[in-house]
Structure 1
Amino acid sequence: MTHGTDEPHEPADPSGPGDVEPRPGAHAAPAVGDTEDSVDSGELPAGSFRWSYDAPEPTETPQPDSYQPDSYQPDSYQPDTSAPEAYPADTYQADPYRFAADQYPAAPDPAEQRYPVPPAAQQQSYEQPSYEQTAYEQPAYEQPAYEQHQYEQQQYPGYPQPAYEPPPAPPAPTSAPTSAPMPPQPGYAPQPFAPQPPPAPRPEDLLVPNQTPITDEPASWGWRGRVNRASGGMFKPKASPAELAVRKSITDIQHSFSRPMTVVVVQPKGGAGKTPTTICLSAALGAYRGGYVVGWDDNETRGTLAVRVTNPDNQQTTVWDLLSDLAAFERYDARVGDLSRYVRAQPDAHFDALVSDDNPGNMAQIGEREYQRLHTVLQRFYRMIVVDTGNNVRSPNWQAAVNSADQIVVVSTYQRDVGYSASWVLDHLAQTDRADLARNAVTILSAADPTTDTAVRDQLVPHFQARTRAVCEVPYDTELAHGGPIRWAHLAPATRNAWIHAGATIVNCLADDDRRALAERRS
């Protein structure tokens, strides 16, 4: 190493102590104590020296006052707007270690130095401070609160909200504010109620009403009816309550059903009025329902229906004959006219009678299966079936009849033993899982004698009213008591009306059950 004042220094002798042979392309580093002006002018102050070496890279060793990071330019830094900033631009900091190293340069380690360090530099020792990375707290960004004008929204009852526009500043109120009525909006004015026009006339309007109210017809009974007929209709007295009740019963009998109905008459005791009840119920139903009613004698031995109905043509066929030819009526092409030779028509009452056979042995052969086949065929040709049962509740055909019943009719006379038997059969139905049939049964009490024991009647009527659905009473009639064929037209008016009322009661019970069953099938 050589010292000079005005001339550039020459390379030092390689053999001299402390000298380093310069490498090609080496740069002269300013000596310790040089100023910026002396460095630029090339002059060296007294007592100073220069040293040089070949650096591995052409860059100069930075000084704390003049060093700037290569990749960081504070003036030209622009944050990346493609992604959210991690830190605000005004608080951006480079690597804290790089700043710390620039401010506090560490003395190079001689063991790791590739080239000797100048003696003056070796005399300075810097203790590398321990730097901790500053934990920058990320500021919480808050959405700037934009000032929003609060405008009063005026409500318009009954109309849609108009377009939102800021109203002008209201003047200073001089008096109590009053709300002005809302002007009518086009297209939203309330429309006055327009009554619906009447329906267009139909051809059916020209026809006579199907049913006239029962109170509109003039009286036909008693002195009211005689006045009406004698005056030729000029005077039309109103019907009495009794006549109106019979008219109501006739109307109820005409109620239609959704399927064929079966009414079964039961009473274990003989001579209690089962057969007269079967005939009179069939007559009342057939006379006011337009026919298609059959009375069937299902006695397990020899019944008496054959002797209590009229037989104008002396017909001898019975249910046993029908059972023998039943296969012909189970065909799809069977006709109701082919059945007429097996039944006995009752022209005045509009019903047919299917009587039992005179041979008890033949009737004993009709069991449950035979009853079901006969019942199925009769349902194809009749709308209502009234079954007269025998006295043996354990016989198969009696059980089959009760199982096919839509309505049970319990009969009794005004006698204690007959009433006891009728009440017992209700217990039998309840004990054989037929409690519903027993509760919905209709009781018919008929007088077998011209005189009736009122004490017995007062006991029987409330008893069966509590056990069954309804109780109907039939007065004494000689047409029923003589034991011969019963003719509907020969019954006394009171007796005939009583049977009409009984038939209407049964039909009403069937109608209620039919409506309930029909609703269940449709649901």
Structure 2
Amino acid sequence: MTGPSEESAPGHPEPTESAQPSELFSEDRTDSAPHPAASGFEAEPTQVVQPQYPQQGQYPQQQPAPPLPQPSQGQQYQQPYDQNLPPLQPQPPQAPPQQAAQYPPQQQYAPPPQQQQAVPGLPQPQGRHALPDELATASLVKPQKRKPQSGWRKALYVGTGKLVNPGESPKDTRKRELIAQINQPLRGCYKIAMLSLKGGVGKTTTTTTLGSTFASLRGDRVVAVDANPDRGTLSQKIPIETTATVRHLLRDADKITRYSDVRSYTSQGGSRLEILASEQDPAVSEAFSEDDYRRTVNLLEHFYNIVLTDCGTGLMHSAMKGVLDVADALVVVSSGSVDGARSASATLDWLEAHGYGDLVKRSVAVINSVRPKGGSVDLDKLSAHFGARVRSVCRIPFDPHLEEGAEIELDRLDEDTRLALLELAATVADGFGGQQYQPIQP
């Protein structure tokens, strides 16, 4: 009796026709394991292994790959780092990383175009963001010739019914430039001391003409103070409007609170120059002291922009120290004679010897011609002598109207005299720069 065949042996059932080989030998199928009844073994529970993830902070630190050998600048790779890799091709030398990563500050933090402003060194906005300079008058309005003010040019301009305009003459151009220089901005009160050791050189006349030039061209208030302790003549150069003097002003100083209060103590000429007279009564023996002058200037500087002081001929009287201590500029007047020049030079020597060297360096020397004819004195050499010691030298020509010694009217002066006074006023106005506002530092 033969035993059962291998095909019908227990524990090995025959596969059905519907079963495919791929399904029988698939490793992903869960039913590929033998059924527990057919295998004869007790099935063990299936354990699902969950992947284990390291906790935070437990990741192993990866070791950085060893750096590739860098060739020096101008050299090539001699051997590749990995023998299995193809040889590296030589690369052109490159800038160091720290230099290649640098960018200009204006490109790194540039604001948007609509928020950019005109900054020196940066590209300026174009189009609708154009700068205001493009709308300036000089770039939009066609320049025209100025009207002539004098001479044959004015006659031709007026005679042709203003159809032919030859333009202004060089002298008119010079006058216009001087007037613009005189009208430069001034901050606060500028105090000018008029000084001379010798009488008869035209110091008081120069004080009046210089102050009248400033007052007629500028919109500021200009006043001249007679600080001569020996009955000065400054008040005689303009029409007298009041008999009040500097003594009355000091007596009523506590009552003065506005400009109209000060105006009642001064006289004003046609040029708008105001003059504060000195004491004219010879019976008054009280001298004009340093304290009196300081009190006077401290009061006037609240209401006037330019204060001229007509000093006496003496340097040792009490008021002179106060004049020199508060002065912003000094004008030394000399005549065109030898003795007048020596006196003016001695004045500069005395100032330098008594600690006023800085005041001498920024002073202006005036050579005033008090005679109709120039004589034999070389004025060029005289100007060179003072020019080596002071800031500038100006010449005032002889004028018949000034020789009269009466009230001075600018309209009656010769044209050359008016031009010389403009140059003197413009030279003094150059010192206004020390009184300007300084920009606020961030």
TM over 0.5: yes
Q: For the Cα contact (< 8 Å) 1:265–1:278, is it kept in 2?
A: yes
Where 1:342 maps in the other structure, the secondary structure is coil
Tell me, yes or no, if the aligned pair for 2:185 and 2:432 is still in contact at 8 Å: no
Take 2:262 and 2:393, find their aligned partners in 1: how far apart are those partners?
35
1:506 has 2:433 as partner: no
Task: Verify: 1:148 aligned to 2:66, yes or no.
Answer: yes
Are the structure 2 counterparts of residues 205 and 326 from structure 1 closer, same or farther at C-alpha, using a change threshold of 3 Å? farther
Q: What do residues 153-206 of structure 1 show as CA deviations (whole Å, max 9, x unaligned)?
A: 999xxxxxxxxxx9x934698xxx787xxxxxxxx9x99x97513676999999
Q: Distance in 1 between matches of 2:196 and 2:170?
A: 33
Which residue identity is paired with 2:188? R
Match of 2:254 among 320, 324, 327: 327
Contact 2:201 2:334 (C-alpha < 8 Å) held by counterparts: yes
Q: Is the Cα–Cα contact under 8 Å of residues 310 and 486 in structure 1 kept in the other structure?
A: no
1:244 to 173, 177, 180: 173
CA distance in 1, matches of 2:132, 2:285: 56
In the superposition, relative to structure 1, how do residues 274 and 215 fare at CA in structure 2: closer, same or farther (>3 Å)?
farther
Aligned residue for 1:336? 259
**Which residue does 2:233 correspond to in 1?**
304
Please list, as runs of the form range in 1=range in 2, the aligned pairs for 1:69-108 lying within 5 A after superposition: none
Matched, 1:226 2:155: yes
Contact 2:207 2:224 in 1 (8 A): yes
- Give the letter aligned to residue 428 of structure 1: W
| Distance in 2 separating the partners of 1:213 and 1:368 | 57
Question: Which sections of structure 2, spanning at least 5 residues, go unmatched?
Answer: 1-62, 74-81, 93-102, 109-121
Change in 2 beyond 3 A, CA 1:194/1:287: closer
Amino acid at match of 1:326: A
Distance 1:356 1:501 in 2: 29
Q: Distance in 1 between matches of 2:339 and 2:440?
A: 42
Q: 1:148: how far off?
A: 3.4
Q: CA deviation at 1:231?
A: 2.8
CA contact (8 A) 1:429 1:438 kept: yes
Change (3 A) 1:377 1:172: closer
Please give the secondary structure, in 2, of the residue aligned with 1:380: coil
Q: Shift in Å at residue 259 of structure 1?
A: 1.8
- Quick check: 1:488–1:496 contact (8 Å CA) kept in 2? yes
Equivalent residue for 2:244, pick from 299, 312, 317 = 317
- Correspondence for 2:50: none
TM-score (norm 1): 0.59
Q: Which has the larger radius of gyration?
A: 1
| Structure 1 residue 225: Cα displacement | 2.2
**1:169 aligned to 2:85?**
yes
- 2:309 aligned with 1:377, yes or no? no
Q: Please point out which of 284, 288, 293 is paired with 2:213.
A: 284
1:466 aligns with: 388
Give how far 1:357 is off.
1.9
Give 1:147 shift.
Answer: 8.7
Question: How much is the aligned-residue C-alpha RMSD, in angstroms?
Answer: 3.8
Instruction: Flag the 1:149–1:430 CA change in 2: closer, same or farther, 3 A.
Output: closer
Answer yes or no: is the 8 Å Cα contact 2:337–2:377 preserved in 1.
no
Identity %: 27
Partner SS state of residue 371, structure 1: helix
Tell me the distance in 1 between the aligned counterparts of 2:355 and 2:214. 29
2:153 counterpart letter in structure 1: R
CA contact (8 A) 1:302 1:363 kept: no
Unaligned stretches of 5+ in structure 1?
1-144, 156-165, 180-187
Residue identity in the other structure for 1:336: Y
